[in-house]
């Protein structure tokens, strides 16, 4: 939007940060100053497409592409009359054809395709469905009115909750002040030990807090569609920790691999027998990633020796000593 410019006066957002672009039903944009100048008498023609326009129909451009603004305006205007619902049709196919017709009309008007014929189709539809359009508009008006009533009721409840929270907060502050004043008076006029007085006041406050917490309603626990609960994690019951005297829950079994060949060397034999003498050492980056040349060498030897004595013609392979 920063490089957007008025097509008439060529003013850009860079030169005038407060530039406000307006758009009309034709989809062509003008800055607010040019609109005030060209449409001083309330009506005029678009500088680009020359169609007659009215000043009252200009609105602030919301989208970067003016064609999107044009399509949105056309869609709103068309859907005010093409307001049938799925239940108004006998089959789903008829409803889909109706939606496809709406999209065709919007596309033609947005792209200036057969505008005259498209407007004739719209007027014919209005004449044929005059009663249905009026009924749907009244139904839509009632739905919007009910929705506004629900929103207003929710707003009133929210305001009442806010006032109640403010009142409770003010009462809590007053109560703290009274408790502090009572403690000061007790310390000033009582002959008892000051430490005992403070401890008794502290224990009384803790008891009041526990009573208030116990009187509060339980936290509402909601759950995902999978049934996993969330919102009250502090009260979840977990499995107890296993006890040592009950025995281990898992016993490790070493991995055993059947080798049909000579026994490969072990990890410590790689260096002593010279297996790694002709292997490139790992770099610092490879070592940081957990790679070592000994690992690659050991795996290569194991794979090379694993099937040396394998005889596919026999079910049992005899192992011999090399």
Kindly indicate the confidence band of residue 208, based on its pLDDT and cuts at 50, 70 and 90.
confident
Q: What is the pLDDT of residue 227?
A: 47
Instruction: Write out pLDDT tens, residues 36-83.
Output: 888 887 788 888 888 888 887 787 777 777 777 778 888 888 888 887
**pLDDT above 90: percentage of residues in the chain:** 0
Instruction: Write out pLDDT tens, residues 159-203.
Output: 888 888 888 888 888 888 888 887 787 777 777 777 777 787 788
Q: Please give, one letter per residue, the 3-state secondary structure of the chain.
A: CCCCECCCCCCECCCCCCCCEEECCCCCEEEHHHHHHHCCCCEEECCCCCCEEEHHHCEECCCCCHHHHHHHHHHHHHHHHCCCCHHHCCCHHHHHHHHHHHHHHHHHHHCCCCHHHHHHHHHHHHHHCHHHHHHHHHHHHHHHHHHHHHHHHHHHHHHHHHHHHHHHHHHHHHHHHHHHHHHHHHHHHCCCCHHHHHHHHHHHHHHHHHHHHHHCCCCCCEECCCCCEECCHHHCCCCCCCCHHHCCCCCCCCCCCCCCCCCCCCCCHHHHCCCCCCCCCCCHHHHHCCCCHHHHHHHHHHHHHCCCCCCCCCCCCCCCCC
Q: What is the pLDDT of residue 55?
A: 80
Instruction: Write out pLDDT tens, residues 86-98.
Output: 888 888 888 898 8
What CATH number does the domain located at 1-65 have?
3.30.40.10
Residue 235 has pLDDT above 80, yes or no: no
Instruction: Write out pLDDT tens, residues 259-311.
Output: 788 888 887 787 788 888 878 888 888 888 888 888 888 888 888 888 887 77
Q: What is the pLDDT of residue 259?
A: 78
Q: What is the pLDDT of residue 142?
A: 63
Q: What is the pLDDT of residue 82?
A: 83
pTM of the complete model: 0.36
Kindly indicate the confidence band of residue 317, based on its pLDDT and cuts at 50, 70 and 90.
very low
**pLDDT above 70: percentage of residues in the chain:** 80
């Amino acid at each position: 939007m920063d490089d957007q410019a008025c097509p008439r006066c060529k003013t850009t957002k860079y030169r005038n940060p407060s530039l406000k672009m307006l758009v009309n039903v034709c989809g062509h944009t003008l800055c607010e100053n040019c609109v005030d100048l060209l449409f001083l008498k309330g009506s005029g023609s678009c500088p680009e497409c020359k169609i007659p326009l009215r000043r009252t129909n200009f609105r602030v451009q919301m989208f970067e592409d003016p064609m999107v603004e044009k399509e949105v305006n056309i869609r709103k205007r068309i859907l005010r009359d093409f307001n049938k619902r799925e239940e108004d049709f006998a089959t789903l196919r008829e409803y889909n054809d109706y939606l496809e017709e709406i999209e065709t009309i919007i596309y033609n008007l947005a792209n200036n395709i057969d505008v005259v014929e498209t407007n004739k189709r719209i007027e014919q539809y209005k004449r044929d469905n005059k009663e249905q359009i009026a009924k749907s508009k009244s139904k839509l008006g009632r739905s919007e009115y009910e929705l506004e009533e629900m929103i207003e009721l929710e707003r009133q409840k929210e305001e009442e909750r806010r006032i109640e929270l403010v009142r409770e907060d003010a009462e809590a502050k007053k109560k703290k002040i009274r408790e502090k004043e009572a403690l000061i008076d007790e310390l000033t006029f009582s002959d008892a030990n000051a430490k005992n007085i403070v401890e008794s006041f502290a224990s009384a406050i803790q008891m009041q807090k526990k009573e208030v917490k116990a009187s509060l309603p339980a936290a509402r626990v909601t759950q995902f569609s999978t049934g996993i609960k969330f919102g009250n994690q502090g009260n979840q019951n977990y499995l107890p920790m296993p006890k040592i005297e009950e025995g281990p829950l898992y016993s490790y079994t070493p991995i055993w691999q059947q080798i049909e060949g000579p026994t490969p060397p072990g990890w410590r034999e790689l260096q002593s027998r010279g297996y790694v003498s002709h292997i490139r050492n790992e770099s610092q980056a490879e070592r940081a990633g957990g790679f070592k040349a000994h690992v690659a060498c050991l795996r290569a030897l194991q794979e090379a020796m694993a099937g040396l004595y394998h005889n596919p013609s026999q079910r049992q392979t005899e192992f011999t000593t090399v």
